[in-house]
Structure 1
Amino acid sequence: MLWVDKYRPRRLQTLILNKHIGEHLTQLVATGDCPHILFYGSPGVGKKTLVIGLLHQIYGDGVEKIRVETKPWKIQLPSRNLEVELTTLSSNYHVEMNPSDVGNNDRHVVQEIIKDMAKSRPLDIQGQRSFKVLVLNEVDRLSKDAQHSLRRTMEKYSSACRLILICNNVSKVIDPVRSRCLCIRVAAPSQKDIMQMCQHVAGKEGLKLPEGLNTRIAAASDRNLRRALLMLETCQAAKYPFSDDQPVQLTDWELYIQEIASDILGEQSPKRLFVVRGKLYELLTNCIPPELILRRLMLELVKKLDDELKHQAAQLAAFYEHRLQEGQKHIFHLEAFVAKFMSEYKNWALSAFG
């Protein structure tokens, strides 16, 4: 088991980070009811940990008996029959799923599958709550139609189920859904918090973690606790005992994006654009989210740019990140960003050195 999961707190009372949120949720459950809740914040800040703790606070140890199911769902539409396959993680009291996994069919998943689950009460409600909890991940990636369907489901079946929504960017969730939820922002941990957690996990594993290596892991983690613990585990697998000057290994896809940034700055031509497009497509086929690719590529480019161009590069990235949300073919918008950046960079180089 990865250290991220092995040392994840299972109860709100055992939280090391986000204790104030845990106390608030404990008081909320103690009132005897629980509203729909929307947790939002950047990746790796502890949203899933809070959800696990909240479920345990509501239902007790029963939520730990979980099963993973992947099964086809047949949905009858007016003009055709639709069959989608979706993986769910469930117990007798809750169901966790990611509706955006089915792509353009997410609206039908929200309308039919969630509606069907919301109708059923927990299998054993003796001494437990009389409602079931549906945990929906990556709500910000749902289409607008799916989010509007979600709003109607929240209203109609509120007596039988509660929804816990998780997202990274709350601005991509429509107002009607947000207004029906208790919105809780989970802030990113500071570098000091990340260093504390890394020392805590290293101590549990019986490892001695040097201060210098711990500081570099925290700096490279980008305030993502999950990423920091994975880096720590990678360092331990690569070399132990640790040394103070031991390098922190980046993931393969991050090294690949560094290579793409060097390709872009090295030459601005249609031939090089074709090569870069192939590398971007390879990242997408390996399930790296397009928004993450664009953000990381922009950061790598900015590191090597003149101050005059940094603001322009950020503007271009913001423009095409918005296009990513509106369109379906992600490779088109990533390639358009690279092509536009190459054009702007070449014009700047010609005017500056020509």
Structure 2
Amino acid sequence: MLWVDKHRPKNLDNLICHKEVGANLKSLVASGDCPHLLFYGPSGCGKKTLVLAMLREMFGPGVEKLKAETKEWKIERPEISTKIEVELTTLSSNYHVELNPSDAGTKDRYVVQELIKDMAKSRPLDMAGQKSFRVLLLNEVDQLSKEAQHSLRRTMEKYASACRLVMVCNSVSKVIEAVRSRCVTVRVPAPAEAEICDVLQYVSKKECITLPPEFAARIASSTDRNLRCALLSLEACKVQQYPFKSDQPIQLTDWEVYITEIASDIIAEQSPKRLYQVRGKFYELLINCIPPELILKKLLFELMKKIDSELKHEVCHWAAYYENRLQKGSKAIIHLEAFVAKFMSIYKQFIISLFG
């Protein structure tokens, strides 16, 4: 098991980061009821850890007895005289169900409707000391289509007595106001580098290894305040070399190394042939489930390290332009390739002007 999962705090009292948020959640649970909740914050900040710790506080250790299953829904559509089949993998306990409805693509709204209906039908018995509702944990709510979010709003109201929604997202601005207004929003900020160092030292003690403070600080500063990445980097560095040295290089993930190579390829040559090669590498990243927004962001950072300061403003402008198109479009590869083509054009014109 990866250290990031193995040493995840199970109780709100054991949190190293976000203790104030944990205390507020504990008070909310102690009040005897739980409204719909929307957790938001940057990737790797600890949203999922807080949610799981809150569920354990609410229902006890039974929420850790998980069962993974692939569920299939067959939804009848009388207006088009056909059935729509949707298949998704869920994680469930006796008290909650967790899934990522955006994995269903354009059919996500049917998943939202049918799953909440199923949960409402199988609500737990209202026994002494137990909650009379189940929790539906929805990941990446900001990736849901607008139709799915509107469906979510209606079903939230209809089945509120039998089902509570706990939603997790990176950007709350992509969640429609109608859904946000029906939830208590919980902001989870990225942990400070000092807090990340504390977590790294805690995990190191649990694994019985010695971590130099200077090396922990370098890991924390290299991961852009992403706690998940920091723990993965620590584990990778342990595999690479132990005992640790203060000047030991930080082990990057394979996809980060791959994007660094793509950036070098783009700078080395600007041609249709090179663009075609870069397109193939983008496909490999997307097939391995690297989010296109993350690919674009990392590629931009790598390119910015290699170009003249005179170009940086224009390159950032076009990166923002294609990121916006990426959010609105359905084929990520088209917009990633378009950004690279635009960058090649700008960079080649700049090189020609220097020697012209």
Match of 1:75 in 2: 75
Which residues of 2 match residues 58-207 of structure 1 at below 5 A? 58-78=58-78, 79=80, 80-122=82-124, 125-207=127-209
Task: Check conservation: 1:92, 1:123, Cα contact below 8 A.
Answer: no
Contact 1:96 1:135 in 2 (8 A): yes
The structural deviation recorded for 1:243 is: 1.7
TM superposition shift of 1:350: 2.2
Matched, 1:310 2:306: no
Are positions 1:252 and 2:254 aligned together?
yes
Q: Could you tell me which residue of structure 2 aligns to residue 6 of structure 1?
A: 6
Shift of the alpha carbon at 1:278? 1.0
Match among 338, 351, 355 for residue 349 of structure 1? 351
Distance between the aligned counterparts of 1:317 and 1:189, measured in 2? 27
1:211 aligns with 2:213: yes
Does the CA contact (< 8 Å) of 2:119 and 2:162 recur in 1?
Answer: no
Question: Tell me, what secondary structure is at the counterpart of 1:127?
Answer: coil
Distance (whole Å) between structure 2 residues aligned to residue 124 and residue 295 of structure 1:
48
* SS at structure 2 position matched to 1:287: coil
2:19 maps to 19
Question: Counterpart in 1 of 2:235?
Answer: 233
- For the 8 Å contact 2:87–2:104, the answer to whether it is kept is yes
Q: Name the residue aligned to 1:31.
A: 31
Q: Match of 1:159, as an amino acid?
A: S
Q: How far 1:37 moved relative to its partner?
A: 0.6
Instruction: Indicate if the aligned counterparts of 1:93 and 1:123 stay in contact, CA closer than 8 A.
Output: no
Using the TM superposition, name which of 39-48 and 342-351 deviates more. 342-351
Contact 1:236 1:242 in 2 (8 A): yes
Q: Name the aligned partner's letter for residue 300 of structure 1.
A: E
| Cα distance between partner residues in 1 of 2:10 and 2:61 | 10
Q: Could you give the per-residue CA deviations for residues 166-198 of structure 1, whole angstroms, max 9, x where no partner exists?
A: 001111111111111111110001111111111
Output the CA distance in 2 between the equivalents of 1:118 and 1:225.
Answer: 36
Q: C-alpha separation between the residues in 2 aligned to 1:260 and 1:61?
A: 46
Residues 119, 157 of structure 1: 8 Å contact kept:
no
User: Do residues 276 (structure 1) and 240 (structure 2) align?
Assistant: no
CA–CA distance in 1 between the matches of 2:178 and 2:317? 29
1:56 corresponds in structure 2 to: 56
**Secondary structure at 1:50 match in 2:** helix
Cα separation, 2, equivalents of 1:189 and 1:14: 16
For residues 286 and 338 of structure 2, what CA distance do their matches in structure 1 show?
Answer: 15
Tell me by how many angstroms 1:353 deviates.
3.5
Whole-angstrom distance in 2 between the partners of 1:4 and 1:175 = 33
Deviates more, 1:113-122 or 1:273-282: 113-122
TM-score (norm 2): 0.96
Give the secondary structure class of the aligned counterpart of 1:197. Answer: helix
Task: Name the SS for the 2:166 alignment partner.
Answer: strand
Task: State the Cα distance separating 1:154 from its structure 2 match.
Answer: 0.8
Q: Secondary structure at the match of 1:240?
A: coil
Partner amino acid, structure 2, of 1:14: N
The one-letter code sitting in structure 2 at the alignment partner of 1:90 is S
The residue identity in structure 2 corresponding to 1:285 is: I
* 2:328 corresponds to: 326
| Corresponding letter in the other structure for 2:53 | G
- SS class of match (2:280): helix
Deviation at 1:114, TM superposition (A): 2.5
Question: How far 1:123 sits from its partner (Å)?
Answer: 5.4
Does the CA contact (< 8 Å) of 2:63 and 2:95 recur in 1?
Answer: yes
* Residues 320 and 333, structure 1, Cα contact 8 Å, conserved in 2: yes
By how many angstroms is 1:254 displaced?
0.7
In 1: Cα distance, 2:39 partner to 2:71 partner: 27
Residue 45 (structure 1) aligns with? 45
Gaps of 5+ in 1: none
Q: Shift of the alpha carbon at 1:124?
A: 7.0
8 Å Cα contact 1:92-1:124 kept in structure 2:
no
TM-score scaled by length of structure 1: 0.97
Residue deviations 1:27-83 (CA, integer Å, cap 9, x gap): 111211111110001111110011011111211222122211113222222221122
User: What's the CA shift string for 1:185-229, capped at 9, x where partnerless?
Assistant: 100011111111111110111111122321221122111111111
**In angstroms, what is the RMSD of aligned CA positions?**
1.3
Question: Which residue in 2 is equivalent to 1:336?
Answer: 338
